[in-house]
Amino acid sequence: MNTRWFKAGVLAISAFVMIAEVNGQAKPKPAGNRTSTARPAAGGYGGGYGGGYGGAPAVRDTSKKKITTNPKPESTGGYGGGYGSATSSAAGSSFNSNVPTEVIKGSGSGIGDSIAPSLRNDNAIDRQLVKDRNPLAYEHIREDDAVYRQRVWREIDTREKMNLPFRYAADEDNGNQRFISILFDAIQSGDVTAFSGDDDRFTTPLTKEKVAQAITGGLDTVPVTDLEGNVIKNEVRQKMVEPDSIYRYRIKEEWIFDKETSRMFVRILGIAPIMMKYTSTGMAIGDMTLFWAYYPDLRPTLAKYEVYNGKNYAGRMSWEELFESRFFTSYIVKSTMDNPFDRSLKEFIKDPLFRLLEGENIKEKIFNYEQDLWSY
C-alpha cells in the first residue's frame, strides 16, 4: 500500500514540474556548479537583440539563476548577432556581387590619377602652341647609304641632377608631369601600344589592363557598408604606387652614318621603364622591365608635353625635343659592338666602375668613326 502511494506521489510531482517548466517558472538544474557558457541560439533573432543596440548577446547563468553578459561574445555589433544568426555577418570581408559596383578614379599624386582641368586660364598668357605641336618627320635614310650602324642600349637614371625634369611632380591640365605618368596616360588613352618587357623587339603587345597591373599593381575592390554593417556597394580603386619608385628608363637606339649627307644620325627605337623587384622581406632581387613603348609612336604625344625648366619657366621645350636634342645623361648597358654573344655589359663585367668605363669606350668608338672619315 505504501508503495502505491509513493508511486502516485512521484507522478504528481513530475506533472507539477512539467507544468512549471512550460510556464517559465523553473529550469532544469545544471550538472555540478559550473557556469553555463552556452552560445545564443542560432535560430530566431540571434539570441534576441543582444542586450541593446550593438551590445553583447545575453547568456543565462543557470548556476546563479540570473542573466549575465558573456565576457567574450561571438559578436558585439548589430542586434545581438543579426536576425536568424548567432553572429553578425562579416560585411566587408568578401565581395558581394548583388550590390552595384562603382569605379573611383584616383585624385592623389600617383600614377594614373585623374587630374581635374582648370576651369579658367591658369596662365598669364594664352598658351595654345603646345596643343598644336607636331613632331617633325625624320629625314629618310636609304639602306644603301647607311654604311655604318651600331645598336646601343642606354639607361637614364632620373636621380641624376641633369635628369631631374623626369621627376617633375606638378599637375597641369593634361595630367601629372612626371615622365612615367605621361607614358602611362598615353598607353591608357590608346595613343601608344605597349609591348612586353621580356622582349625588346616589340613582339608581344600588352593590353591596357596588363600595363596598369604591371605599373600600379592592379585594382582593389572595397565593399562599402552602412551604419548597420550592410554592404550597399562595391568601390573599385587603383592601388597606390609611389611614382618616384620608377626612376630608371632603358632606351634602345641606333647610330647610323649616312654617306649621302656625311652625317651620323641617332634614332631612338624604344623606351622602357625599369623597376627594382623586392621580396616580401624587402630584399632587392633584380630589375624588372615593365614594358616597351615604340618611340616613333610615342613622339606625337611627347610633342604636346613640356619639360620643366627651373631656370626659366617660359623657356620650356617639349619632351620630343629633349630626346631628339639629347638633353639627358645616360650610360651604356649593352651594344652590338664587339658583342658576338649578345650579352649586356653586366654579364661579363662585374665591377660597376669598369662597366661605366666600357660604356664610355663604346661611345668614343662610335664618335671616332665619324671623325676618322675626315682625317687625312
pLDDT digits (tens, 9 = 90+) for 64-106: 444 444 444 444 444 344 433 333 333 444 567 788 887 777 6
Query: Are residues 68 and 110 both part of a single domain?
Result: no
Q: Which helix (H) or strand (E) holds 215?
A: helix 208-216
C-alpha cell at 253: 637606339
Query: Are residues 161 and 261 both part of a single domain?
Result: yes
DSSP letter at 32 equals T
CA angle 195, 196, 197 (to 5 degrees): 115
Query: Are residues 53 and 167 both part of a single domain?
Result: no
pTM: 0.70
CA–CA separation, 68 and 148 (whole Å):
92
Which of 7, 17, 11, 60 is CA-nearest to residue 35? 60
CA–CA separation, 279 and 276 (whole Å):
10
Tens of pLDDT along 127-142?
Answer: 776 777 889 999 999 9
Query: Are residues 290 and 195 both part of a single domain?
Result: yes
* Residue type at 102 in one-letter notation: E
Tens of pLDDT along 224-283?
Answer: 888 988 888 888 877 777 889 999 999 999 999 999 999 999 999 999 999 988 887 888
Query: Are residues 168 and 66 both part of a single domain?
Result: no
Residue 223 lies in a domain: no
Query: Are residues 58 and 110 both part of a single domain?
Result: no
Query: Are residues 148 and 198 both part of a single domain?
Result: yes
- Cell 568578401 identifies what position? 94
Residue 260 lies in a domain: yes
Query: What's the domain range around 212?
Result: 106-115+131-216+240-329
C-alpha cell at 339: 658583342
Residue 169 lies in a domain: yes
> What distance separates the 2 farthest-apart alpha carbons in the chain?
147
Total number of domains constituting the chain: 2
